[in-house]
Every structure is written in C-alpha cells, then in structure tokens.
Amino acid sequence: MRRSALAAVAAIGSASLLLSACSKADDNGGDGNKSAGANAATKGVVNASTQKGGTVTYEYSDVPDSFDPGNTYYAYMYNLSRLYARPLMTFQPGPGEEGNKLVPDLAEKAGEPSDGGKTWTYKIRSGLKYQDGTAITSKDVKYAVERSNFARDVLSLGPNYFQQFMQGGKAYKGPYKDKSPEGLKSIETPDDTTIVFKLNRPFQEFDYLVATPQTAPVPQAKDTGIDYVKSIVSSGSYKFQSYDEGKQAVLVKNENWDPKTDPLRKQYPDKIVVKLKVNAETIDQDVQAGDAIDLGGTGVQAATQAKVVNDAKLKANTDNTYGGRLVYMAINNQVAPFDKVECRKAVEYAVDKVSVQTAEGGPIRGDIATTVLPPDITGYAKADVYATTGNKGDAAKAKEQLKACGKTTISTNISARSDRPQEIDAATAIIASLKKVGINASLKQYPSGKYFTDYAGVPTFDKKQNIGLHMMQWGADWNSGYGFLQQILHGDAIGASGNTNLSYLNDKQINEMLEKAIATEDDTTRNGLYGQIDKRAMDLAALVPLTYFKVLLYRPSGYTNLVSTSAFSGQYDYLNIGTTKK
C-alpha cells in the first residue's frame, strides 16, 4: 500500500466545530476570482494559466518519510518529488482517470519490452543536466534504482519492487556494501542514454514501476546515503534552496533544467515553499484563504467540510474526488468459522453499507462499494455480487447463508485502528448490522502504527484472539489491477507478520490469474483479467467492500493549473501549479 497521509491527521474536534460556527458569517466574496464550480478540477484544468512568478506554498500537517526520491513511499511525495527528481516515466497531468496515463519523462518514450516482457529497454532524452550542469546518464538511473531498492539497511522506507523483480535481486546487497563497479548485473547501461532492465519473470506493467521516484537519477559521487536528503541534486525544474528537516523546504528554479528536454514541466512559480507540521485546522484556513495547497491531499477536516458543503459559494470551490482507495472489511479465511465460504457470505449479506457510509462521513467521504477495485483504478468493472435493496443489507439472505454454514450464531471479534475514529465508527455500525443476523462481534482496537506488524497482520495473533473480521483500507502502489490486488489477494504474500492480505486468502485460481495478468502484454486482455479476479474474490467472499474512498479538496483561489488526478489518489497534480499572486 502506498501510504496515504491519512493516518497522521490529528483530530482536533471540538475546537474545529466551533471554528466553523464562528466563521459562518465570514464572507470571502471579494477576491474577484470566478469559481469554476464544484468538481471542476476532476473534469479539467482549473485556472489554466501560463503566468509565471510568485511563490506556491504547500502545507502538510505531518512530516513526509523523506524528500529523498529513493526513500519515500507516500503518494504526495511521489507527486511532489517530480519537481526536483525526474523518473523515467510519469503520469500525464490530466483530470481523473486521464491522469492514469503513463507518459515518458526522463525517457524518450515508453519502455520497449522484449523476451515476453522480461526485458525492458529505455532510452533517456539527450541534453539532460543536473542542477550543477553535469550531464545525466543512464548509469545514474541504474545507481538510483540500486540505492533505493537494495541498500535496505539505510534507505528502507520506499518500496522494493525492483528487488523482487530483477534477476539476481535477492542476492545483490546494494551499492553501499557491494562496491563492485558493475553493481546489479541485471540492469545494463550499454551507453549513456540506454538502460536495460532484466526481470526474473514477465512483468507487463513495468512502466508503472519506473514511474516511481526511485528511477529519478542520483549522481553516485554526490550520494551521501541517509544524508542525501539534505543535499539532493535536482534533475527537475526546481532545486532545493534550503531544507530544514521536519520543518520546511524551499525550492527555487533550476537554471540548468532545459525546457527543451521536458514536455511536461513548465516552471511557472519562482519559488515553492513546503511547510511541514502545520496544524490541520490552520491548513484548512490557509487553503480557503487561497494561500496554500494541502500537500497530503487528504482533504479538508470534518468541520471545514461541514462548512463548505453547506455553502453553495464555497462548495463551488471544492473537488470531491476518488482517492484510489477502497474502504473494506477483510474476512479472515483462517479464523473459524470463516474458513467456510457460507459463513463469509452471511457477513456479506448482513452488512448495512449505508450505515457504514454514514459512519465514515457520508457520501462526501465515499461512495458505496461493491467491488474490490475502485472505479479510478484501471481494470475496474462494475459488479455487485451480493446486491441488497438500497445496499442496506439483507438479514433473511444472511441467515440463509448462516444456516447453510451450519450455524445459527457466530461469536467473533473485529479489529480496527484505535487512532482512526471513522474506522471505529464504521466498525461499530457493522457490529450493529451483524448482530441482527446472529453474528456477535466485539470491537478490538489497535494502534495503526503496529496494526500490520503486531496485530491484524499476524495470523497467529488473529487466531489466538479469534479476530475473524478486520477493518481495512487499501490504496494501490500503482493504479492498475495488479498494483491494487496483488498485495491484498495474492496467497504468496502471506507471511508470519506484516501481512496486508488480511483476508488470508490463498486461492490458487486468483494467484494464477494475477500471475497470468501481469504477463499479458495486451492491455484489454489484462484489464479483463482484473475484473475476473475481482469477481472471483467476491464470489469467495474474501472481503466486504464498504466504500470507495473519496476526499473533499478545497481549491485555493490564488493558484493556477489545478487538476485532480487519479494517479496520485485524487491530489492535484503538483507539476505545474502556479500562482497569480506576486
């Protein structure tokens, strides 16, 4: 799961409610900016402008894992880091699912597969330079992949897909320990503009992998490992002017970036300021004042939401967009009696999804879900295996399934993350629905930081504590069926702890279909397979989809080129945001 910033958002409840009450009278009228209307940025670019100059400010309530493109896992950092670190591929700035389209960035064009998708070749553009004027070569890309995926002792925060997919990836110890000049042999750089990746199995979505910031070039001579974050060498349109760990980063124009080498970036503002650890309420205020963008892209706080959706004028400045995430409840296949499919189906029918949606914050926070894949993920196919009237659950059908399972009542536990109030509320709503059909579930709360490593993600723990149901949210590392489904449905992913496959489903058919899909070159066939996997998982009642997660973003009036993209969980695309303010 590419982590969302959601977990870190602190609730400052009572005060914020009051704040919203106080600011009712607040009239924000006179700034002369015509509103583009609600959800405008999910349909097109809002405030499109080529105006240059000014300062764009991002604010975030927490701190990111790292600004180092090789050591981050957050969607918003994937999004932001492109300003100073150009990956081989990236996503086309565009509204909604249009943003899911991969386009070459550092590379001249998309990767050329050969050997049935086991070998991928990229040519990088010519004339590329770092901020210090030195040339960027394909060797720097190779080095960046090596340091970010293989030096796990020091750069451990990013994903490690290359370690899993490259030939010899398991044995290679990374450039810090393995000082041999050739490095990882399965990444070849026959010349300064060519890079060849040799995989241990066919992987038709490799372009998605090289769209992570991990392929952004890092000059080996300038790499200081952990300390690289303090002196990142830019390959993008902006470079670091200052970096104050945990507090603030300031980016200014990179004069050595050449627009001729870059069809995507426009370099509009003079300066980009990223402020960290800003109080969430303050961010909302600043965003509404038109002075900042919420870097995390998790949307406004509850109080602000209440304020803006009830005011037509303010609502016209919002974007209610899918966040590429599914809110669901996993049914643990290894905890009796949910090892029986009928018992699992009883749960599917019993849950009143409307009550869950309400607990999550209403339709603004998510549409009712009936599939594993959310609509903004490539491969989504509309389906509803356990359709009930008005999505309110069907006690009769549930009891029928319970009977078929040989039970009249079930006693179990449901796990949820103690620091996520909405998840607790949703679980409480589910408990109420289940009770009506004779399934008595008790709520067990665990801290989110250890949810996977110590609690729900540990199969022995779940069995011992009789936790048959797990509250869960999932967003993909890349927006394809494979990127989304593999981690939560593939049986091979199950380990002793740290599992994200909380259904503990190990279905041969699903495993095979996943492998087959990723080896399938043809997009249509591949995406069709994802629909089948989704259907199969639902037939097996592996999980109860609850809502397709949505966020409510407020468009800061002073900023230009705002477009909400599915590629980054509905966030605005940060590549070309400019400002009309001086």
Partner 1 sequence: MISYILRRTFAAVILLLVVTAVTFAIFFLLPRLAGQTADQLAQQYIGKSPTKADIAAVKQNLGLDEPLYAQYWHFIKGIVAGATYNLGPTTAHCDAPCFGYSFKTHEAVWPQLTSRIPVTFSLAAGAAVLWLVSGVVIGVISALKPRSFFDRTFMGVALAGVSLPMFFTGSLAILLFTYQWPIFGRTYVPFTENPAQWANTLFPAWCSLALLYSAIYARLTRSGMLETMNEDFIRTARAKGLRERNVVTRHGLRAALTPIITVFGMDLGLLLGGAVITETVFSLPGIGQYAVQGITDNDLPPILGVTLLAALFVVIANLLVDLLYAAADPRVRLS
Q: Which residues of the shown chain bind partner 1 in the complex (CB under 8 A)?
A: 1, 8, 10, 12, 14-16, 18-19, 22-23, 26, 62-63, 65-66, 73, 147, 151-160, 163, 170, 175-176, 223-228, 244-248, 275-279, 281-282, 285-286, 289, 449-450, 453-454, 477, 487, 493, 495, 497-498, 500
Is residue 579 within 8 A of residue 269, CB to CB? The reply is yes
Block residue for tokens 């300390």: 227
3-state secondary structure string across 281-329: HHHHHHHHCCCCEECCCCCCCHHHHHHHHCCHHHHCCEEEEEEEEEEEE
228 vs 574 by CB, closer to partner 1: 228
DSSP string, 511-523: HHHHHHHHT---H
Whole-number minimum distance, CB 456 to partner 1, in Å?
Answer: 13
122 vs 504 by CB, closer to partner 1: 504
Whole-number minimum distance, CB 281 to partner 1, in Å?
Answer: 6
41 vs 302 by CB, closer to partner 1: 302
268-303 core/surface letters (b: 16 or more CB in 10 A; e: else): bbbbbbbbbebebbebbbbbbebbbbbbbbbbbbbb
Whole-number minimum distance, CB 108 to partner 1, in Å?
Answer: 29
Q: How far apart are CA 284 and CA 475, in angstroms?
A: 24
What CA–CA distances, in Å, run from 370 to 262, 431, 487, 530, 541? 41, 19, 19, 15, 11
Alpha helices in 369-458 (DSSP H): 395-404, 421-435
22 vs 390 by CB, closer to partner 1: 22
198 vs 275 by CB, closer to partner 1: 275
Whole-number minimum distance, CB 481 to partner 1, in Å?
Answer: 18
Whole-number minimum distance, CB 452 to partner 1, in Å?
Answer: 8
Angle subtended at Cα 377 by Cα 295 and Cα 36, rounded to the nearest 5 degrees: 50
Continuous segment of H or E residues that includes residue 532? helix 523-539
Q: How far apart are CA 468 and CA 411, in angstroms?
A: 9
Two tokens, residue 10: 């602190």
Is residue 539 within 8 A of residue 386, CB to CB? The reply is no
157 vs 541 by CB, closer to partner 1: 157
Q: How far apart are CA 549 and CA 554, in angstroms?
A: 17
| Count of positions (residues) in the chain | 582
104 vs 296 by CB, closer to partner 1: 296
Whole-number minimum distance, CB 436 to partner 1, in Å?
Answer: 36
Ranges of beta strands (E only) in 332-409 are 366-368
Backbone angles phi, psi at 199, to 5 degrees: -95, 160
26 vs 255 by CB, closer to partner 1: 26
Ranges of beta strands (E only) in 332-380 are 366-368
Q: At what angle do helices 523-539 and 508-518 cross, to 10 degrees?
A: 160
Continuous segment of H or E residues that includes residue 121? strand 119-123
Whole-number minimum distance, CB 104 to partner 1, in Å?
Answer: 26
254 vs 304 by CB, closer to partner 1: 304
Whole-number minimum distance, CB 503 to partner 1, in Å?
Answer: 16
Is residue 307 within 8 A of residue 545, CB to CB? The reply is no
Is residue 129 within 8 A of residue 258, CB to CB? The reply is yes
Whole-number minimum distance, CB 446 to partner 1, in Å?
Answer: 12
Whole-number minimum distance, CB 305 to partner 1, in Å?
Answer: 16
Whole-number minimum distance, CB 223 to partner 1, in Å?
Answer: 6
454 CA to centre of own chain:
23
Whole-number minimum distance, CB 20 to partner 1, in Å?
Answer: 10
40 vs 251 by CB, closer to partner 1: 251
124 vs 157 by CB, closer to partner 1: 157
283 vs 347 by CB, closer to partner 1: 283
Residue 39: how many CB atoms within 10 A of its CB? 18
DSSP string, 193-235: TEEEEEBSS--TTHHHHTTSGGGS---GGG--GGGGGGSPPP-
33 vs 51 by CB, closer to partner 1: 33
256 vs 285 by CB, closer to partner 1: 285
Is residue 525 within 8 A of residue 479, CB to CB? The reply is no
Whole-number minimum distance, CB 253 to partner 1, in Å?
Answer: 22
37 vs 225 by CB, closer to partner 1: 225
Whole-number minimum distance, CB 407 to partner 1, in Å?
Answer: 32
Whole-number minimum distance, CB 384 to partner 1, in Å?
Answer: 31
Q: How far apart are CA 208 and CA 102, in angstroms?
A: 7
Q: How far apart are CA 558 and CA 293, in angstroms?
A: 10
